[in-house]
Structure 1
Amino acid sequence: MPREPFLNPYTFVPAFPRDGLPEAFADAAPAGHDRLHPDRWTGAIAVKLTVRTPLLLLDTPRASVADRGIEGHLTYPLLTRDGQPHLPATSVKGMLRSAYEAVTGSRFGVFTGHDAPLGWRRIADDARIIDKDNGMFPIRVASVDEDADEIEVDLYEVARLPAYDVPPVTYPSGEQPRHGEPVRARLVRPSMRNPRGNQFRGPWTVTEVIPLGEGSLAPAGPGERVATGIACVTGRNAIGKTHERLFFSTERPRRVTLHGQCKRWRDLMQSYRDQHEDEVPQRKDGKRPDEWRADAIGEVELSPHIHDDERARLTRGTLCWAKKEQGDIVGLYPVMIPRDVGGVPSDMLPDSLHPASAFDELSPADRVFGWVAPEGAGTRPSAYRGRLRIRNVACQPGTTVTEFEGDGLPLSILGQPKPAQGRFYLADSPDKPDVPLRDGMPKGEIFQGRERGLRGRKFYWHHRAVADDKTYWKLPKGPEDPTQRPVNDKGFREYRRPREAAGGNSPVPLLSQDGRAFRTTSDQRDNQNRSVQGWVDRGSQFTFTVEVRDLDGTELGALLWLLTLPEERFHRVGLGKPLGFGSVRLDLDPSGTSLHRGDVWQAHYRTLAGNLPAPNPADWDELRAAFEETSRAVPELRKAQEAFLEAAAGLADLPVHYPRTRPKKLRPGGPTPPDPRGLSYEWFSQNERMRGGEIVRGHGRSLPAPGEAGDNPLDTYDA
């Protein structure tokens, strides 16, 4: 198949450690608000904002449940004031602050909710027993000391216990063994063939079982074992699962003492709960937790440890799995192919980038836009009022909006942040956030490397290929799904959610008659997406004023640099940025801009002589140029600014969309349309595809750095 490259909607502007930055960018206490300093700048900057791609300004308090929606689908009207589209000053300020933090290498203004270890799913190959020192081994917990974080475990062998879609092995009464029941069992190793046709002995498999102490089994015959064991039952928690497991031992199990596993187990259980919080109902009908097991999620059940508090606890008698590497047990897990937990994001962010905890640690963005001490910092003073305000945001004549009747336009599902996709979010080290993890790195190494870093600040690409295409932003009339045909060979309408797949979520989708698109039926409106009743059209304009007080030359120069980006570079504001909405062009309006140094203001106030001297635009050019020269002499700041400008420009020859796979029966020769079933996880599963214990060539891709995305883009995989 020919390549089908694409651009992921988001990228990262690297955030380097701040140690060793020049004085102008270093941490420092801010200037006081008591007076204007002679060498600092105060005044107002007039700015014109031009909408380049439709702008979503939604009135969220007035959201209503769509008439045709299900599961509480919400539709949002356009945010207006006095009949005109309203762009909140807070949105403008937030847009500028995020950009200002990035290009000045400032601290993160907010970095909360990142204290839990990253959760991720291990691959099927990790469930194998490679040899006696490596692989996943069955254990039973013998004792737990939470205070000392010490656990004793007994190591067992494992046999398959036929349970589903094969003739099950049952007690003589016809009942199947329940979890944790001690049994006597007859075991054999059936003859099997590998894909090459070579014959080999399979795993031990139970052929006969009785409850322990209720009768006896005949002695073992040739190639058989008769052993005492414990049934480990986790339910039909995987597609195609046919067997449960029997933990057995023909002699006294070996006992091992482990340290540090109690907390790790709790973190792992929390990761499971967080991952499945929308799937576990909060029962108020008096049903027992073990009755939840009957609730199917798709074609599989939830594993008991996800919804059963007792099964989630690590106590004496718990049956679980131990992963061994080079003979050492490195973790305990509730199932054979489990989730795992890795590093903590807050630990991966250098201390110099964490929100300032004291008044004298403020970075440039904190000193300009304001600062509030993190919760629990206990410092005084605990806040600083910024020296920048956004005023007089006004919609200009000629602004137009597009309105959508009824329940509005159903937007595509917005992807949730996926820190567990370490290939996208993690860098090899905190000192080199601009360097992605190498392609093909084994999944275990991604999360278990000694020192991983974060890629930086998330920014969204300008959708350059379709920004100026009127047809792309206009929905055609007629019965055909407007998302399933490319527009002017520039890509599909990624912003609209495809209609429902004909045939539902079948693994084999129904395709159009020509085999180039998915066959769809009616609009999808559920709790995964939202609808909008209007947007601000391309070409519309707003104006606003940036009032600044007592900024030094570097602080003002950085702001002027952001307000006068090179041509065809765009900021992003509003909602729906991953879908292409909200690219805006900012331009400084010299006629409404007046900036003066503090000594000029002092002279003015001393004499009250009337008007201030006329502003000198050459001063602004000098400040902007001085900032650029000073910052770009610092390699870390230069790299951050280049990445920011790359994202602000976009790429003309790549479509922008979330990763997706290409159905097998889709007719070759054309691009892959959006899948109405969603299933973006399929791309990430394919990205981890293994063969012979290694990542398949061309897979295991990390998210390219902004400057490399055009030369080494991601590819659409075959489903």
Structure 2
Amino acid sequence: MAQQSGRAPDFRGEPFLNPYTFVPAFPRDGFPESVDDGEPYGNDRLRPSLWTGTIGVRLTVRTPLLLLDAARAFEAESGSEGHLAYPLLARNGLPHLPATSVKGMLRSAYEAITGSRFGVFTGHNVPPGWRRPAEDGARMKPVRVLSVSEKPDRVRIEYCEQARLPAYELPEKRVKPLPYQGTTRLPRHGEAVTVRIGRKSGRRGGRSFFKPWTVRSIVPRGEGEPARGDWGDDEEKVVNGYVWATLQNTVGKVYERVFFQPDHPRTVVLDGQYARWNALMADYAAAHTHEDLRARGEGDGLTWSPHLRDPARARLEPGALCWAYQRSGGADLYPVMIPRALAALAPKDMLPDDLRPARAYEKLSPADRLFGWVAADDANTFPAAYRGQVRIKGVRCEEETASVTRFVGDGLPLAILGGPKPAQGRFYRAKSPTRPDEPLDDGVPRGNVHLDEGQGLRGRKVYWHHARVAGDREYWREPADGRDPTQDPLNGRDHREFRRPWGPVDGPGGETQPRPDGRAHATRRNAEQRDNQNRSICGWIDGGSGFSFSIDVRDLDGAELGALLWLLELPDGCFHRLGFGKPLGFGSVRLTLDNARTTLHKGERWQAYYRDLGGELPPSTAPQEARAEYSDLRTEVPAIGKAAEAFLIAARGFDLPVRYPRARDPRMRRAPTTPPDPSGQNYSWFTINEKISKGGGGQRGRSLPSTVDAKRKALRTHMGERRQQG
């Protein structure tokens, strides 16, 4: 791309697909009987009008399949402590595909295309956390907690004013730490103090204003009066207060605060804040690993905020100093001025009741009846489980087609797999619970994304088939030229997204460096990265390998069986996703019916057959009849039709790269495409995406497009900012 007028090049021509998308899950109200809730049939007899029998299936691997043997995982010698390498799962010298893996793949797909209830929806009872934008700091007020009651949940607070307390030296700002008067000891958090504060006046836009209060001198409370001085202030006074300190938790920080009582004190009682505070602290803890908390502060001078390290600072109790975010009807309490916050709703509260896991035997949806159901621990219902009407059996690797690629030593280090990020509301949330197929509008302010109580969930997460590289043998091989396998695109367009880059070459300030040619990141030759963020594999099953298995079904109606048969023979070019590493392109598999091993008949036909053991079963008409019933269902129920359409689109994929969002290093202007970041800091795309007010030509504040619009409204690469070591 040509650079014009010294400005950064436009990368809107670099579209990509996020590794996951969603099949919309619509409310099930008004569904016809065949896909509505109901009790399953018992196993006492075959129902005359329902289908029973065996379906033969063949599975063919399209992209390398990862079946990992967790029981034989070992710690890699060349990696950091805790990095595991996984052998290929095998039995008797052949790859082993567990029947449970096949069943899980089919069940998740069946739930999606029949509009069934979610089989599992655990761990979503708490609102997810998100980071408030810096501009919200203007609505934060310093407060001191006077009393706390758990039952009833009430917190009484006193509003304060604040003064800046010089605490850290920064020569360019001519700031030096201010110790207690006559000593070298610096004030500490929570200490009661008496301070002399001053402020200057100014004019902006024809109006006069006062600059922030700043502490000029400070003494412990009760130990005299702070000294006077000539600071050129336009206003000055002596007040009592408390030190509020969080240490150097941000780059360039020079001030702590002193909270002091205003001329007209105001106390307020807040309801529900004790439980909310504890939930927020739990979210903070879940967002940081012990390794993260230990590592920060070693060498770069930065530290984590105290509420992450000190249990006492994480407690809401009388005397605590914190911040109150002013909102309509009240305020919310936070440990710091620019904090994490909790969304208005937990994911569970955004999921319609008829999509939540069934809590009673008579409320089973089609996927529950076919594949089985277990009641939640607190459901207090009987029966509390149902085995299901489908059995996967006889999974066998076809020895004549089996092909395996093995990696010696500690194996091949995979790219870092991104964990679920429910805090990225632009990706997970829909406009309403009744329209999960409509993502949030692009450009919605971040606060609205998380605090709008009228939103819903996008549906069931599915992973794109990586159509662009699925058949490219070179893509799945290690290059022979001795260069980093990830930094130079194949055919000028595709990077090996499944593999972790070599370690970065760090610059003088610790930041990653571009290669001298400006076309990629500089990495250290053969410096494989193996740590607690990724895993290594010792082998995979090659494309073209085949497996076979059978599915026993019992008492399925036409629509139920038709949906299953539809999944077992998707249109040409569509693939299921199986095994580990699906976001990285692994595990695209094709299912086909084996008619020679398929025998399906209605119960009345089986009854006649068993009455006369010498009789013969006629050719089965089940595939044609059942497929027609499911086809009619997709037409009659738009919610199911839209879900099936989205499922097929994801199963087919597009001619676009599939990768986690990442920003381009502005120093790599000559790169034909944006290569993977060897330092793994892919969060920068999301940070830039939230900077809506700073422009971006409509390319910021992007929500994840719907599956049907994924190509037309594809996400684009953002131009990053040069990172500096803190």
Shorter chain as normaliser: what TM range?
over 0.9
- Which runs of structure 2 are paired with 1:208-287 in the superposition (5 Å)? 208-218=217-227, 222-279=234-291
Cross-structure match for 2:173: none
Structure 1 residues without counterparts, runs of 5 or longer: 129-134, 282-291
Contact 1:54 1:537 in 2 (8 A): yes
The alignment-based identity, stated in percent, is: 54
Distance 1:484 1:193, change over 3 A: farther
Q: After superposition, where does 1:118-267 map in structure 2 within 5 Å?
A: 118-128=128-138, 135-166=139-170, 167-172=176-181, 173-189=183-199, 202-218=211-227, 222-267=234-279
Equivalent residue number for residue 51 of structure 2: 41
1:260 to 1:581, Cα distance in 2 relative to 1, 3 A: same
Aligned to 1:429: 432
Deviation at 1:479, TM superposition (A): 2.7
- Cα–Cα, structure 1 residues 433 and 44, in superposed 2: closer, same or farther, change >3 Å? same
Please state if 1:705 is matched with 2:709. Answer: no
Q: What letter matches 2:488 in structure 1? A: R
CA 1:474–1:293: 2 relative to 1, 3 Å:
closer
CA 544–256 in structure 1, closer or farther in 2 if over 3 Å, else same: same
Structure 1 residue aligned with 2:724: none
2:392 match: secondary structure:
strand
Task: Output the amino acid matched with 1:554.
Answer: A
Q: Is the 8 A contact 1:440 1:695 kept in 2?
A: no
Residues 314-329 of structure 1 mapped to structure 2, 5 A cutoff? 314-326=316-328, 328-329=329-330
Question: 2:599 & 2:296 partners in 1: Cα distance?
Answer: 69
Which of these residues, 407, 411, 428, is aligned with residue 408 of structure 1?
A: 411
Letter in 2 for 1:259: D
* Alignment partner of 1:95 is 2:96: no
Q: For 1:222 and 1:437, how far apart are their aligned partners in 2? A: 49
Q: Compute the displacement of 1:218 (Å).
A: 4.7
Deviates more, 1:155-164 or 1:359-368: 155-164
- Matches of 1:21 and 1:294, distance apart in 2: 53
Deviation (angstroms), 1:89? 0.8
Residue 391 of structure 1 is matched in structure 2 by: 393
| Among candidates 366, 369, 379, match of residue 367 of structure 1 | 369
- Whole-angstrom CA distance in 2 between matches of 1:536 and 1:268: 44
Query: Could you report, residue by residue, the CA deviation over 1:2-30 in whole angstroms, capped at 9, with x for unpaired residues?
Result: 31211100001111111111111100111
Q: Distance in 2 between matches of 1:294 and 1:103?
A: 46
Equivalent residue, structure 1, for 2:480: 477
The answer to whether 1:487 aligns with 2:513 is: no
Question: Structure 1 pair 170/298, CA: closer, same or farther in 2 (3 Å)?
Answer: closer
Q: Would you say the 8 A contact 2:15–2:716 is kept in 1?
A: yes
Contact 1:505/1:677 (8 A) holds in 2: no
| Distance of aligned partners of 1:305 and 1:370 in 2 relative to their CA distance in 1, 3 Å threshold | same
| Structure 2 CA distance for partners of 1:191 and 1:699, relative to 1, 3 Å | farther
> Equivalent residue for 2:7?
none
The match for 1:512 is 515
Are 2:578 and 1:573 aligned?
yes
Once the two structures are superposed, the pairs formed by residues 9-24 of structure 1 within 5 Å of their partners are 9-24=19-34
Partner of 2:5: none
SS in 1 for 2:547: strand
- CA distance in structure 2 between the partners assigned to 1:243 and 1:704 by the alignment: 42
- 2:358 paired residue number: 356
Q: 1:389 to 1:250 in 2, by over 3 A?
A: closer
Post-superposition CA distance 1:569-609 (Å, at most 9, x none): 00000100000000001111111111111111101111212
Structure-2 change in CA distance of 1:190 and 1:402 (3 Å): farther
Shift, 1:541, TM fit: 1.0
Q: In structure 1, what is the Cα distance between the partners aligned to 2:313 and 2:356?
A: 37
User: RMSD value over aligned CA atoms?
Assistant: 2.2
Q: How far apart in 1 are the matches of 2:199 and 2:572?
A: 71
Alignment of 1:566-605 (within 5 A): 566-605=571-610
CA distance in 1, matches of 2:574, 2:41: 32
Distance apart, 1:70 and its partner CA? 0.5
1:151 alignment partner AA: V
Other structure's SS at 1:273 match:
helix
Q: Deviations over 1:532-555 (max 9, x none)?
A: 011011111111111111111111
Say if 1:506 and 1:395 are closer, same or farther in 2 by CA, change over 3 A.
farther
- Is contact 2:493–2:673 with CA below 8 Å preserved after alignment? no
Tell me the amino acid that sits aligned with residue 620 of structure 1.
P
Question: C-alpha separation between the residues in 2 aligned to 1:240 and 1:696?
Answer: 30
Amino acid of the structure 2 residue aligned with 1:509: T
**Displacement of 1:199 after TM fit?**
11
In structure 1, what is the equivalent of residue 563 of structure 2? 558
In structure 2, relative to structure 1, the CA distance for the partners of 1:558 and 1:231 (3 Å cut) is same
Single out whichever of 87-96 and 219-228 deviates more from structure 2: 219-228
Residue by residue, what CA displacement relative to the aligned partner does 1:51-92 show, whole Å, maximum 9, x if unpaired?
A: 110000111110001110112211011111110111111111
Work out the CA distance in 2 between the residues paired with 1:697 and 1:556: 46
- The CA distance in 2 between the partners of 1:255 and 1:115, in whole Å, is 32
State the shift of 1:330 in Å. Answer: 2.6
CA distance in structure 2 between the aligned counterparts of 1:620 and 1:675, rounded to whole angstroms: 49
Q: How far has the Cα of 1:450 moved from its partner?
A: 2.0
Q: 2:560 is paired with a residue of what secondary structure?
A: helix
5+ residue gaps, structure 2, are 1-9, 171-175, 721-726
Identify the range of structure 1 (574-583 vs 496-505) with the bigger mean alpha-carbon deviation.
496-505
Q: Is the 8 A contact 1:296 1:302 kept in 2?
A: no
8 Å CA contact 2:350–2:433 kept in 1: the answer is yes
Question: Within 1, Cα distance between the matches of 2:286 and 2:258?
Answer: 29
Aligned mates of 2:323, 2:549 — CA distance in 1:
61
**Using the alignment, how far apart are the partners of 2:575 and 2:509 within structure 1?**
41
Q: Which residue of the partner structure matches residue 77 of structure 2?
A: 67
Query: For residues 709 and 203 of structure 2, what CA distance do their matches in structure 1 show?
Result: 45
- CA offsets per residue over residues 680-712 of structure 1, 9 Å max, x none? 1111111111437x9984211111110111011
- How far off its partner does 1:346 sit? 1.1
SS at match of 2:121: coil
Q: Deviations over 1:259-303 (max 9, x none)?
A: 12111111111111111243477xxxxxxxxxx899559753121
Shift of 1:417: 0.4
Q: Aligned-pair distance for 1:191? A: 7.2
Stretch deviating more after TM superposition (488-497 or 299-308): 299-308
